[in-house]
Chain A
Amino acid sequence: MKLAYWMYAGPAHIGTLRVASSFRNVHAIMHAPLGDDHFNVMRSMSERERDFTPVTASVVDRHVLARGSRDKVVNNISRKDEEQRPDSIVLTPTCTSSILQEDLQNFVDRASLYSESDVILADVNHYRVNELQASDKTLEQIVRHFLNRAREKGLSNRSLTDTPSVNIIGISTPGFHNQHDCRELKRLLGEPGISINQIIPEGEFLRNLRDLPRAWFNVVPYREMGLMAATFLEKEYGMPYISKSPIGILNTADFITRIGKPVNLWSSALLGKEVNYDLYIENQTKFVSQAAWFSKSIDCQNLAGKEAAVSGDATHAASITKILVKEMGIRVSCSGTYCKHDAEWFNEQVQGLCDEVIITEDHTKIGNMIARIEPSAIFGTQMERHIGKRIDIPCGVISSPVHIQNFPSGYRPFLGYEGTNQISDLIYNSFNLGMEDHSPDVFGGHDTKGVNTKSLSVAKREIHWAPEAESEPKKIPGFVRGKIRRNTEVFAKQNNILEITVDVMYAAKEKSSL
């Protein structure tokens, strides 16, 4: 048991439902107690989805505990099959059903006898994987299932398309800016003449999956979903894949350069020529993306050496860290991710880019870390945004978990060249607001602002400030006031001083400047 107030990644079934409900005409049936279908609310609200979410529950109640749920599950499956004729029904276990240890596979086998749709059981362990890992696993399971089936029936089509084409793997519903990223990615690949074979899971029909191997290669824009499916396709069908995320100028250039390789593998044979994307990259960098010019401009000069803290999923946190450091000259004091399962990769990516790496699922650790280093800006999830609010540090949201405001109606990709523009704005605006906020302080404006201890844990304050010392920090510009106050308190604690006088303050100052 552990005490938890908040979590970054959801439970496994959320990942499965994200994949299942992203495909077209697939229905997910959760084996779950009443009230566990909150995914429907999330999808309907955050994504402002117009259609009913294709997820229903086969409700586990007292009767099920007593009698087992086979008949109920089988009935619910055949009923859904009749009502909505989905191509496939995915039976989704939840934490509750996994401790009941019923033979769900057996139910699925039985239900398949009666129903016209394909019935599959999502194979995820609730107590071992989280939402992200489960989505990766489920996507692979579905791809494997339908490709194997096509092969058995002799329907698989392995002939490559005439011109270079690609599958985009891992675009899904409620993903962070996924819809916009998908559009940008299509453009990014389309402009150098690569057509899109399929995008999975979002909006694809399962019966089309058999055509997946017709693409020349696969692209996995986010590490969190799609890597397993891409690895499977590489192993079984020899399809190369690129898992570089085109986030930021450097990463995007690298991404396009890498595309050259799988394209040229066939291009000379099929098209009679080799491709070279260098000119495309140069043009895009110079004319489409403003980010390169932005990093040379005076605005960005002002940001040089400022401190930032980054936290989010592995893909976004690593990419943003790289952008901040390499493209904008910002110092990243700490970079972290909650994707513990991908810690090794993350460490490798941010190695040498930041002072500290923190890999944790505990938001209080991230909060305390931010409070300790007091960066000028934070780039994180909704949780970090709230941490920032509390301790008065601006925050740009760069990763899920997200909120309805992270599903903008306007075009806001993070990927590709338009993405670099969006990210520049996001970063610059976060810092800029921070500066504006402090300017009045320098001129003695905001003196009423109480100084907080910048710690998130509820600590009782034992140290007493003498009145004349209390007024002393007000002479100091606001943006360093908190730091000085805290340093003084730390100094007082270390030296067992119970009352802080002006003398103690300056003693602390001398000590810290040594």
Chain B
Amino acid sequence: MKIPETLAFECETGNYHTFCPISCVAWLYQKIEDSFFLVVGTKTCGYFLQNALGVMIFAEPRYAMAELEEGDISAKLNDQEELEKICLQIKNDRNPSVIIWIGTCTTEIVKMDLEGIAPKLEERIGTPIVVARANGLDYAFTQGEDTVLAAMAHRCPDYKHFETDGGPGKIEHVRINTGPTNKSLFQKERLTKSNLVLFGSLPSSVASQLNLESKRQSVPVSGWLPSQRYNELPTLGEGIYVCGVNPFLSRTATTLMRRRKCQLIGAPFPIGPDGTRAWIEKICSIFNIKPEGLEERENQIWKNIKDYIQIIEGKSVFFMGDNLLEISIARFLIRCGMIVYEIGIPYMDRRYQAAELSFLQHTCENMKIPSPRIVEKPDNYSQVQRMHELKPHLAITGMAHANPLEARNIDTKWSVEFTFAQIHGSSNARDILELVTRPLRRKGGFTPNSRSLSKQTLQN
């Protein structure tokens, strides 16, 4: 848990722009195919969703608002009756396998007892109801997914632990450890095929790529949280090892460890070929397996993305911070040869991200560049001032600032795209660089073959 001292952490005022965490319904309803997301909130929430999600809203999405009216706020109406009416309507129209209630700022402030009402209604209407409080009072953007997955973790079936010579009491919890793992803790024969569960919502094609990466090292993935369908949720319990694929899932990690007694593998996140390799290596080390062919594979990927790296090498980048992917992406970009001035981040869980942070530190040392300052809860106004001084080649920022910064001659990349693009696993390293280099390529003239990079096929 020791963080190298050279990484500088700061905390600012928290006056920054980000998406409201309820935006997680946008990707989660697509991921969990038989779900329905009901956001219990006001017109403000609804208006945000319909504007942020753009055209998705026209495609009969499986999410809706339970819009609170004055009667609900002043408790003239009975919450349970109102929610029952709405949930019955949803059940009739769509018949989902699960309804996920998203609590918002308003339900927090009026103290609507969603967790209390849900089990009662669940019984009455016969559809599971999961409650996640993804509100702007407590969380930022991608942390919404964290709250949903943490709530979902309670619904996963129990893992029946078949005792071997050790017995459940003797299995030690894996510490989030950045150093080499103490291998003697683990006995290979005790690890059955089905005890690695990955958590984090990824498009199914990316999930199967990671499955494949892991399978190559003969560590098959037994399940994902979330799964494609609600009734396919993985079994959890003592003896199950879990590993996160996204940096913003600290609540889920905590829930899995404390409530479901799973063992957390603290690894860097599989973003970029370097991250993916470190991630696999860490998993292998837990299962006491010697990874094979990882170095060749990583080198191959680096070779494949050389054309992109030429464009960004030596250029500087500034992360304003809004989605918690910043540390991992910055680490990857530093390895690509970029200089990172500042990593803004909404919230920094130093325990959950420990492995990633130390990997960042090592990458900086290896690349011989000073480590960037990490600014938690940044202040956008001050950041813009700093940017005027530093004049970075690229700012990774939200939409609110993108056009104004472009008008001030700072190239920008819209940060939200990283949440929707496929960035995990070795083979998607190209996609990250495709995004990062786009504003730089737009000007042209970097390398002779850079014009039609997006059309080049992967030579693998």
Q: Among A91-99, A291-299, A330-338, which stretch is in contact with chain B?
A: A91-99
Q: Among A30-38, A142-150, A157-165, A182-190, which stretch is in contact with chain B?
A: A30-38
Interface positions of B from 72 to 118, Cβ below 8 Å from A: 72-73, 77, 79, 82-83, 85-86, 89-90, 93-94, 105-106, 108-110
Question: With contacts A33-B136, A95-B44 known, is A6 near B50, CB below 8 A?
Answer: yes
In the complex, are the beta carbons of A56 and B381 less than 8 A apart? yes
Name the B residues within 8 Å of A269 (CB-CB). none
Q: Closest chain A residue to B110 by CB distance?
A: A99
Interface positions of A from 196 to 214, Cβ below 8 Å from B: none
How far apart are A44's CB and chain B's nearest CB, in angstroms? 5
Which of A4, A51, A386 has the largest count of B CB atoms less than 10 A from its CB? A4
A461 on interface, CB distance cutoff 8 Å: no
Chain A interface residue count, CB cutoff 8 Å, equals 52
In the complex, are the beta carbons of A38 and B86 less than 8 A apart? no
B18 on interface, CB distance cutoff 8 Å: yes
In the complex, are the beta carbons of B17 and A5 less than 8 A apart? no
Q: Closest chain B residue to A403 by CB distance?
A: B54
- Alpha-carbon separation in the docked complex, A117 to B318 (Å): 33
B119 on interface, CB distance cutoff 8 Å: no
Contact of B137 among A4, A10, A45, A65 (CB under 8 A): A65
How far apart are B269's CB and chain A's nearest CB, in angstroms? 24
- Alpha-carbon separation in the docked complex, A126 to B45 (Å): 13
In the complex, are the beta carbons of B65 and A99 less than 8 A apart? no
Name the B residues within 8 Å of A279 (CB-CB). none
Q: Closest chain B residue to A387 by CB distance?
A: B58
- Alpha-carbon separation in the docked complex, A7 to B50 (Å): 8
Name the A residues within 8 Å of B14 (CB-CB). 34, 59, 61
- Provide the A5-35 mask, 1 if CB < 8 A to any CB of B, else 0: 1110011011000000000000000001111
In the complex, are the beta carbons of B138 and A61 less than 8 A apart? yes
Name the B residues within 8 Å of A128 (CB-CB). 70
Question: With contacts A1-B83, A99-B106 known, is A33 near B399, CB below 8 A?
Answer: no
Contact of B65 among A5, A48, A386 (CB under 8 A): A5
Contact of B399 among A4, A32, A44, A389 (CB under 8 A): A44
Contact of B400 among A5, A53, A76, A457 (CB under 8 A): A53
Q: Closest chain A residue to B380 by CB distance?
A: A56
In the complex, are the beta carbons of B400 and A41 less than 8 A apart? yes
Name the B residues within 8 Å of A48 (CB-CB). 403
How far apart are B176's CB and chain A's nearest CB, in angstroms? 26
Question: With contacts A50-B404, A52-B401 known, is A83 near B137, CB below 8 A?
Answer: no
- Alpha-carbon separation in the docked complex, A35 to B93 (Å): 31
Question: With contacts A1-B72, A34-B18, A35-B19 known, is A7 near B43, CB below 8 A?
Answer: yes
- Provide the B208-226 mask, 1 if CB < 8 A to any CB of A, else 0: 0000000000000000000
Contact of A35 among B40, B70, B141 (CB under 8 A): B141
- Alpha-carbon separation in the docked complex, A467 to B44 (Å): 50
A259 on interface, CB distance cutoff 8 Å: no
In the complex, are the beta carbons of B46 and A4 less than 8 A apart? yes
Which of B44, B138, B384 has the largest count of A CB atoms less than 10 A from its CB? B44
How far apart are B372's CB and chain A's nearest CB, in angstroms? 24
Name the B residues within 8 Å of A14 (CB-CB). 47
In the complex, are the beta carbons of A35 and B47 less than 8 A apart? no
- Alpha-carbon separation in the docked complex, A57 to B77 (Å): 31
How far apart are B208's CB and chain A's nearest CB, in angstroms? 30
- Alpha-carbon separation in the docked complex, A51 to B400 (Å): 10
A2 on interface, CB distance cutoff 8 Å: yes
Q: Closest chain A residue to B79 by CB distance?
A: A1
Q: Closest chain B residue to A46 by CB distance?
A: B51
In the complex, are the beta carbons of A57 and B15 less than 8 A apart? yes
In the complex, are the beta carbons of A1 and B67 less than 8 A apart? yes
- Provide the A95-108 mask, 1 if CB < 8 A to any CB of B, else 0: 11001100000000
Name the B residues within 8 Å of A56 (CB-CB). 15, 381
B398 on interface, CB distance cutoff 8 Å: yes
Contact of B44 among A40, A94, A458 (CB under 8 A): A94
In the complex, are the beta carbons of B69 and A2 less than 8 A apart? yes
What 8 pairs between A and B have smallest CB-CB spacing? A35-B20, A33-B136, A40-B400, A50-B407, A386-B58, A1-B82, A11-B43, A95-B42
Please give the residue numbers on chain B whose beta carbons come within 8 Å of chain A beta carbons, in ascending order.
Answer: 14-15, 17-23, 40, 42-44, 46-48, 50-52, 55, 57-58, 60-61, 64-70, 72-73, 77, 79, 82-83, 85-86, 89-90, 93-94, 105-106, 108-110, 135-141, 381, 384, 398-404, 407
Q: List 27 A-B contacts (CB under 8 A).
A: A1-B68, A1-B69, A1-B79, A3-B86, A4-B46, A5-B61, A5-B65, A34-B18, A34-B136, A34-B140, A35-B18, A35-B21, A38-B20, A38-B51, A41-B51, A41-B398, A52-B401, A52-B404, A59-B15, A61-B138, A96-B42, A99-B106, A99-B110, A100-B109, A126-B42, A126-B43, A458-B93
